[in-house]
Amino acid sequence: MDGNGRWASERGLPRNAGHRAGVKAVRASIEYCARRGIEALTLFAFSSENWQRPQEEVGLLMTLFLEALDREVADLDKNNIRICFIGDRALLSSALQTRIANAESRTANNTRLTVLIAVAYGGRWDITQAAKQVAEECVAGRLKVTEVTEAALQERMSLAGAAKGLVEPDLFIRTGGEQRISNFLLWDLAYTELYFSAVLWPDFDERELDAAIALFSSRERRFGLTSAQVAKV
């Protein structure tokens, strides 16, 4: 979700106006994904690197998270939408940690759409914390070295831990014109299709999402196989 600040700057508005517009775009995207029957939507709301931004902006973003949770969770629950969070929660305020836990608990049994929100998240942090879990279990004797496999590490990644049963993302969408993944889901994006849009996040609407999905649908996903092999599957 990139481009909130530039969206505000282009309109002569303060950056916080862009972030608030971005929240509205989040709400619209969730509603549209639910209507389209999409199984899961993961949103990169705040990266581990974003802590380096001006303190005033970071404070505003944390306030927006609190306000959004207070305002939106009841409707998400009513619409059978589950909400989960990934990231280093220890870096968040106790108030935000409590809101997150309450939101996850309240919507845990919902099945229409799973929304995963990455806050204080970084792909390198995610791989590191999974590796630490594996190391600790090996030292404690709960895991043998021969049992340290890709699957074992995958089970300890944030995405797998937050929402059991969800597979790796099919489609990665980056708004705002940048063409990089910026330390997001580095492990999980191994075979994900990438789509880069020049549209700033607050302007990313149903039409833009449809365009991304249409392009994704036209691609042949081979996962290391040849086209001939894929055709036989």
10-residue mean pLDDT profile of the chain (233 residues): values are 95 95 97 97 96 95 95 97 97 97 97 97 98 98 96 94 84 97 96 97 97 95 84 75
Is residue 204 within 8 A of residue 175, CB to CB? The reply is yes
pLDDT at res. 170: 96
Instruction: Tell me the C-alpha distance between 73 and 143, whole Å.
Output: 38
Domains of the chain: 4-122+167-216 (3.40.1180.10)
2 is catalytic: yes
Instruction: Tell me the C-alpha distance between 1 and 115, whole Å.
Output: 14
List 50, 79, 110, 183, catalytic entry = 50
Instruction: Tell me the C-alpha distance between 169 and 69, whole Å.
Output: 24
203 is catalytic: no
pLDDT at res. 129: 98
Is residue 178 within 8 A of residue 196, CB to CB? The reply is yes
